[in-house]
Structure 1
C-alpha cells in the first residue's frame, strides 16, 4: 500500500462537508427530478467501440486519482479515438455549484453517494444504460443512486462493514471468532477479554461525532433502515435504531468501551497495547494494520459483522462513491463509455482494483459494486500480509453480498451530525438515554433541517 494513502476519514468528511451540502440543500437541489416542470435528461444509447471525441473527467487528488489515471490508460487502449482529460479537482468545493450554474462542467465526475439524491435534477438519468447490469449490481448501491425510481449515478465501490479483531487476544481469552454471530455474542466476548485483562476496554466506539453517526448508520443499515426514507422523512424513531442505541448503552454500562477518535493518538495507543481488540468498522479500516499499527501488525483479522437477530444480515455500508454525468455535459455518451468500462467491463475493474504501482497488492479499502467483479474465487487484490496473510477479498465480498438496500442519502445528512452525531456522543458518555437521543435528534432534525429544506 502506498505510504501516501489518506485515511478514508478525511475523504468522507470532505464528501459530506457542510459547505458542499449547504449548496446541495438550496432551492434547486431540494427539487425532485422533474419537479421544476421539465423531464430529467436521459441517456439511452451506447456509442460503438469506434466512437471519437474528447471528454473531461474529474476526480479527487491523491492516491485514488493515480489509480484511476492508470485505469483510464487501459480505457484509452480500448477506445483509442477518445481523448480523456483526467483532472484532479476539489470536487467537494466545486462540483455542486458548477452543476447548478451549468458552466465549465466536466463530462463526468467521481462523487459520493451522499450527494446524488440532492443533485439529481442536474444529472443525467442513467436508468436505461444501467439496465443490462442492474440485476448483478449491489441492491444497496442502486438504491442510494435512485431518486423517484430513476438511477442518477453509476455505482462504483462498496464499503462493507466488518468486525476487526486481535486474533491473539481473543485466543488468550478463550473467544472463538466464529462464534461472534450476534451483537450479544460480541458483548459477551468483550466481557471475556476484560476478565482476562482488567485494563482492557475491548470495544471501540467513535468519539468523533461525524464518524460516530456514519458508524451508527452502518449498524442501522445492516437492519434495512436509515436516517431518512425515500421521501427524505426522518425515521430515527424505530425499533432498529433502538436496537443499536440500547446495545451501545449496555456496552457503556458494562465498562467495555474505549471511546476514542478514529486512528488518532489515543485510539492507536489503545489498539497497540491490547486495550482495544474489537472494532466494528468499514473495510477501509484495513489501512490501520497496513500502515499505522506496529505491535499488532500481523495479528489483526477481519470477520463479518455480527447480526442483530439470528440469521440477519452480517454487514452494512459505511460510506461509498459513484460516478455522475452532468445533465449539461458536452459529451455525456463518451463519459458513459468510460464509466461502463471502469465499473462493468474487463479489464476496466481489474485495472482499478488490481495490483498497481500505487497499490502493489491491489486496492484493499473497498470492493466493486458489480457482482461479476467481486467473485470470491477470483480476487482482484491479494491476501494482506499485515493481516497475517488473510484473504480479505473473500471476507469483504461475502459481507458485501449481505448489505440490504437503502434510500438516497438526504442533502441535510451532514448537518444532522450537529444533533444525532453529538447526541450519540452524549449517550456514550452516559449523559443521555437511547430514547433521549431519538426524541431530541428527531425533533431538531425535523425542525431545523427537513422543514427548512
Structure 2
C-alpha cells in the first residue's frame, strides 16, 4: 500500500526524529549534561480525574508537516475519550523554539514532541515522569527507556522506535544465488557484496553515507547494535573501544575492496545509483522505506527488508537510528492533562492505532517507524499494511521483530550534534581512504573531549 507524497525535507525533519539537533553555545551553557547538576526536577503524579471528569485546556506543540496531520487526527480520538479536555494542537519550529522556551520559562506548552537526542540535556526543565511510566515500563523498549533516563529518572514519554534494517535488491540476490537468510553477520554481507561485484563489476553494492551528520547517526545505530554508544550514562566518552574499532575496520575493508557507493542520502546521485543497479545493500533505519515508496522508479517493487547482520555470531540484529518522544515542561500549566494525552497516544487504544494505522495522510498506515510500546508492536497485529513498493512485503513483522532485539543505550549527550564537526567529518575521511580507524578514534576523541566535554 503506497502512501501520499511528502517532501523529502519535511520527511527528514519528521521521520528521523532527530531534526536539526543544533545546539548553540548559549544553549549548551544552559543545558545540564547527563549526570550533571542543575535544579531539582519536579515529579509529576498521576491525575486523579477519570476520563469523564478530566477537564481543562492544554497547548501541545508538534512539528509541522504530515506527522502533524497524523497526530491531529489521533488527537481527535483523544477528544472523544476525554470530551472535556480542549487541546490546542500547534505546529511549531521545535528545533528553533522549544529549548529557549524551556530555559526562559515563558509561554511554555503543556507538552511537546521532541528528539530523544535533546531530552537528556534539558532534564532540569522537564517533569520527572518515572512514576507515570512505571505501569508501562516492563512493556516498553529498553532502548527508548534508556535514552529518556537521566540519573535513574525518566523525562520523556517514549513514542517511536526506529530499528535498523538491511534493505536489499531481491532480484539481484536471486540472480547471484545469494539467500538473504545467510547474511547473518557483517562479514557475510561483505562476502555477498564481493560475489555480486564479481558477477557485475559495475556494482558498488553497499551504501555508505556521504553527509557527516547522517553518517554519524548511522554509526550510532551500528554501535547501539553492540550495546554501546558515544558516551556512557555518566557522560564519559567511550569512542576508543573494541565496538567502534570493529565498525571502522569494517568500513575500511569495504572501501579498500571497492564495494561501496559513497553518496548523500536520497539526493540525486544516491537515487540514480539505487535505480540503475549499482547499489544493492542499504543498511539503514526503517524510514528508508520512504525511498521505494516515493523516489525510486526503475527498481520500485524490487527492494526488500531484512534484519541487520550481527557484528558477532548471535549478536543483536538491529540498532536504533534516530527517534522521538514527548516531554512535559516543568512549568506547564496543565501537566496532568498533557500526560493523559500522551498516555492515550502511546499506551492506550485507540490512541496508538490512530497514530500508526491507516489514515487520510497515510492510507496504508505510518510505516516509517514502529511503536516503542510492545503491546502496540505485536507482530501478529500489524498497524500498517504490507507495502506494494516492497513487493507486498510485510514490513511490520520484519521491523517489529528487529526492534525487539535493540539493546538499551544511554542518554544522548547535549553536544552530540556539535561532535559531528569531529567524528562525522573524520568518518568521511575514513570512507575516502584518508584516515585509518585508529586515526579517526584518536583525533575525534581528543577534540570531543577538549572542545565539548571539558567545556560543558
Give the TM-score, by structure 1 length. Answer: 0.97
Matches within 5 A, 1:200-349: 200-349=203-352
Q: Deviations over 1:180-210 (max 9, x none)?
A: 0000000001001101110000000000000
Instruction: Report if the CA contact (8 A) 1:166-1:278 is conserved.
Output: yes
Contact 1:159–1:317 (CA under 8 A) maintained in structure 2? yes
Corresponding residue of 2:362: 359
Q: Is contact 1:16–1:414 with CA below 8 Å preserved after alignment?
A: no
1: CA distance, partners of 2:88 / 2:180:
48
Write the deviation string for residues 49-81 of structure 1: whole angstroms up to 9, x where unpaired: 120000000000000000000000000000000
1:375 equivalent in alignment to 2:378: yes
Match of 1:422 among 425, 429, 433: 425
> What is the alpha-carbon distance in structure 1 between the residues aligned to residue 270 and residue 13 of structure 2?
16
2:31 pairs, out of 29, 32, 35, with 29
Separation in 2, partners of 1:72, 1:383:
25
Task: Let me know the Cα RMSD of the aligned residues.
Answer: 1.4
Aligned residues of 2:225 and 2:407 also touching (Cα < 8 A): yes
Alignment map for 1:127-138 (pairs within 5 Å): 127-138=130-141
- Relative to the length of structure 2, the TM-score reads 0.97
Deviations 1:342-376 (A, max 9, x none): 00000000000000000000000000000000000
Specify the SS of the correspondent of 2:249.
Answer: helix
Instruction: Please state if 1:188 is matched with 2:197.
Output: no
8 Å Cα contact 2:16/2:323 also seen in 1: no
Contact 2:110/2:333 (CA < 8 Å) preserved in 1?
yes
- Alignment partner, residue 3 of structure 1: 5
Partners in 1 of 2:436 and 2:34 — Cα distance?
Answer: 36
Residue 400 (structure 1) aligns with: 403
In the alignment, is the contact (CA less than 8 A) between 1:117 and 1:408 conserved in 2? Answer: yes
State the alpha-carbon separation in 1 of the partners of residues 86 and 429 from structure 2: 53
Assess if the C-alpha contact under 8 Å between 1:232 and 1:410 holds in 2.
yes
Cα distance in 2, alignment partners of residues 320 and 18 from structure 1: 12
- What residue number does 2:108 align with? 105
Provide the C-alpha distance between the structure 1 equivalents of 2:35 and 2:123, rounded to a whole number of angstroms: 6
Q: Count residues in correspondence.
A: 451
Structure 1: which 5+ runs fail to align? none
Is 1:20–1:92's contact at 8 Å kept on the other side of the alignment?
no
State the distance in 1 between where 2:385 and 2:22 align.
Answer: 38
Partners of 1:5 and 1:63 within 8 A in 2? no
1:9 Cα shift?
A: 3.4
CA contact (8 A) 2:366 2:384 kept: yes
Question: What is the DSSP-based 3-state SS (H/G/I as helix, E as strand, rest coil) of the residue aligned with 1:205?
Answer: strand
Write the distance in 2 (CA, Å) between the matches of 1:21 and 1:338. 31
Residue 48 (str. 1) matches residue 50 (str. 2): yes
